[in-house]
Amino acid sequence: MPDESDFPSDVEVIKQRKKEGIIIPLTRNVQAKESSTYLEDVKLIHNALPEIDYDKIDISQKFLNHNFSAPIIIDSMTGGTPEATKINSRLSLVAEKFGLGMGLGSQRAGLLSSELSETYSIARSNAPSSFLVANIGGAQLSKGLKIQDIKKMIDMIEANALVVHLNPLQELIQPEGEPKYKGVLSKIKDICENFDIPIIVKEVGAGISMEVAKKLESAGVSAINIAGSGGTSWAGVEKLRAETAHDADKINLGELFWDWGIPTALSLMEVRNSVKLPLIASGGIRNGLEIAKCITLGANMCGMAFPFLKYASKSLESLCGFTNKTLTELKSTMFLVGSKNIAELSKSRFIVTGELAKVKKWIL
Ligand SMILES: Cc1cc2nc3c(=O)[nH]c(=O)nc-3n(C[C@H](O)[C@H](O)[C@H](O)COP(=O)(O)O)c2cc1C
């Protein structure tokens, strides 16, 4: 008969899951298959008379009272496994060097041991002046995560803001997932009342609808990250994990819902039209042109997860190279539409074509 030592401890199970959460996106293709962000349907208007000099373009942005050198957040990803330390170390060095924001991955694992807590806190050591965002799951809130524990997670990285991520699709397909969302909104409201740092609510790649955005605004959140579909598919990641677990039901659901969600451009447009809150656009954003498009659609900031992970896993040099390339693409777009700063870019004209134009009329 097996005794307790034959079973992996909670810590080992979580470390393994967090490791797979990095390795699978890096080694298997878990991007959207047949759906897209719809950002290809947003066309910015070329300005043949920009009347600005490229090297005078200012891409800095103020968001939640913090000054960013660019409207970019390295979206919430990892921590809780030794493999995350190197990734978070490189990402935070880049956040500090380029004046970007950075989200950490779900931090419950960091409460389990000091070894795991350091996989997150490395970010603050490397990025003393950056806007760092702590991360907890909505599902954990509904299970009764204590305010004291949330405070520890915030202190772990001396966070400037706290993200609550909503991931009902992932919980549904994850082999050990707990699709329990009853009471999450009232917990979010409690958190907004109990903490004095900004509370941001985000999806993880299935998007936020106008109905959800309005509820979040009423609950008192400070900002929303719409994290729409068209980029990394968490149904895809969990489907591949379900294959290893030989869980036929989850494999089926993962395949069926691989592309599920509200495409990023659509989610951003409908949320922008329904609430006044500052917004972060993310989900499948892959270059500076797409960042510019999201700003014109009403985003205050843009988040990218997978591209930063991909380059962070290679080297600090390649991560810096990718970041520089993205900033050049953003500035180039601003030159071509004649916007000398982000405020002007946010007011520049765009047209909507294709599938996005067809579906837009149903939601706006
Ligand atoms: C490796 C990896 C780990 C992630 N872990 C988290 C997480 O712990 N918490 C969270 O809120 N989002 C997490 N996400 C979701 C991202 O923040 C983002 O919403 C999503 O991946 C869509 O962005 P992308 O298409 O640029 O990857 C993770 C994404 C990746 C790629």
Alpha-carbon torsion (310, 268, 236, 17), positive or negative: positive
Domains and CATH numbers, the chain: 12-363 (3.20.20.70)
Give yes or no for residue 121 CB within 6 A of ligand 1.
no
Q: What pLDDT, on the 0 to 100 scale, is given for residue 44?
A: 98
Residue of 228, 231, 249, 227 lying closest to 239 (CA atoms): 249
Average pLDDT of the segment spanning 181-200: 96
User: Measured over all CA atoms, what is the biggest interatomic distance in the chain, rounded to whole angstroms?
Assistant: 79
Place of tokens 């779900």: 106
Asked if 95 and 77 touch (Cβ cutoff 8 Å), the reply is no
Pairwise pLDDT comparison (208 vs 4), residue with the higher score: 208
Q: What pLDDT, on the 0 to 100 scale, is given for residue 8?
A: 55
Residues, the chain: 364
| CA of residue 165 to ligand 1 center, whole Å | 10
Which residue from 36, 153, 204 has its CB within 8 A of the most atoms of ligand 1, so it is best to mutate? Answer: 204
Pairwise pLDDT comparison (2 vs 169), residue with the higher score: 169
Report the alpha-carbon distance of residue 91 to residue 102 in Å, rounded: 8
Asked if 295 and 343 touch (Cβ cutoff 8 Å), the reply is no
Residue of 267, 336, 269 lying closest to 44 (CA atoms): 336
Decide the pairing of beta strands 301-304 and 223-225. Answer: unpaired
Ligand 1 atom nearest the C-alpha of 75 is 17
Report the alpha-carbon distance of residue 332 to residue 287 in Å, rounded: 11
Token pair for residue 117? 């807590």
Q: What pLDDT, on the 0 to 100 scale, is given for residue 3?
A: 42
R_g over Cα of the chain: 20
For residue 7, pLDDT beyond 60: no
Q: What pLDDT, on the 0 to 100 scale, is given for residue 361?
A: 76
Report the alpha-carbon distance of residue 157 to residue 252 in Å, rounded: 38
Half-sphere exposure of 125 (CA within 13 A, CB side): 11
| CA of residue 204 to ligand 1 center, whole Å | 6
| CA of residue 42 to ligand 1 center, whole Å | 24
Taking only the tens place, the pLDDT of each residue in 292-324 is: 999 999 999 999 999 999 999 999 999 999 999
Decide the pairing of beta strands 61-63 and 223-225. Answer: unpaired
Give yes or no for residue 14 CB within 6 A of ligand 1.
no
The Cα-based distances of 131 to 98, 162, 205, 306 in angstroms read: 12, 11, 22, 19
Residue 180: CB atoms within 10 A of its CB come to 14
Residue of 80, 106, 101, 83 lying closest to 91 (CA atoms): 101
Q: What pLDDT, on the 0 to 100 scale, is given for residue 289?
A: 99
For residue 87, pLDDT beyond 90: yes
Pairwise pLDDT comparison (212 vs 10), residue with the higher score: 212
Give yes or no for residue 78 CB within 6 A of ligand 1.
yes
pLDDT confidence bin for 212, thresholds 50/70/90: very high
Q: What pLDDT, on the 0 to 100 scale, is given for residue 6?
A: 42
pLDDT confidence bin for 362, thresholds 50/70/90: confident
